[in-house]
């Protein structure tokens, strides 16, 4: 992922520098894990993120490219745990674990729609 100005930590607060936001790094890692898992799931199933134990260890300037390496290391029923690392062009920027739950997409979307009706 090439880090864009819209990925900057400073977008929401002047108290943080204009570098890759931790939330954007985590989201990128989550998407890579979701794509890897999706390739192995049958039609009608998907996954959602349910756990994040990640560090953000070094800043990445806007314009630099980051890469994520992920490995599925544990399956416990519907839970899938990934070991993850993120790097920019010069160093390790983040690492840890990300957990996803396999879902039935139709049931999940039905539940979301029911919840949305509560707020009218």
Q: What angle do CA 114, 40, 23 make, to 5 degrees?
A: 60
Q: 3-state class of 79 per DSSP?
A: strand
User: In which domain, by residue range, is 13 found?
Assistant: 5-118
Phi, psi for residue 103 in degrees, rounded to 5: -125, 155
Mean pLDDT for the stretch of residues 26-44: 97
pLDDT at position 79: 98
Checking if the pLDDT of 21 tops 90, the result is yes
Expressed in angstroms, the distance from the first to the final Cα of the chain is: 37
Share of the chain above pLDDT 70, in %: 100
How does DSSP assign 4-27, residue by residue?
PGGGBGGGS-TTS-SBB-HHHHHH
Assign residue 26 the CATH number of its domain: 3.10.129.10
pLDDT tens-digit readout, 65-117: 999 999 999 999 999 999 999 999 999 999 999 999 999 999 999 999 999 99
Q: Which residue has the tokens 């864009």?
A: 4
Q: Give the model's pLDDT for residue 106.
A: 98
The total domain count for the chain is 1
Determine the pLDDT at residue 96: 98
- Name the one residue in this structure whose structure tokens are 């690392």: 85
- The per-residue pLDDT for 120 is 76
Helix, coil or strand: residue 33: helix
Q: How many CB atoms lie within 10 A of CB 71?
A: 11
């Amino acid at each position: 992922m090439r880090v864009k100005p819209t990925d900057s930590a400073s977008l929401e607060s002047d108290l943080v520098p204009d570098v890759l936001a931790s939330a954007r790094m985590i989201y990128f890692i989550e998407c890579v894990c979701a794509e890897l898992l999706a390739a192995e799931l049958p039609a009608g199933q998907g996954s959602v993120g349910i756990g994040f134990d990640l560090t953000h260890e070094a800043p990445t300037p806007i314009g630099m490219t980051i890469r994520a390496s992920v490995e599925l290391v544990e399956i416990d029923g519907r839970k899938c745990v990934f070991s993850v690392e993120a790097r920019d062009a010069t160093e390790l920027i983040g690492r840890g674990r990300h957990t996803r739950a396999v879902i039935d997409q139709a049931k999940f979307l039905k539940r979301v729609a029911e919840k949305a009706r509560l707020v009218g």
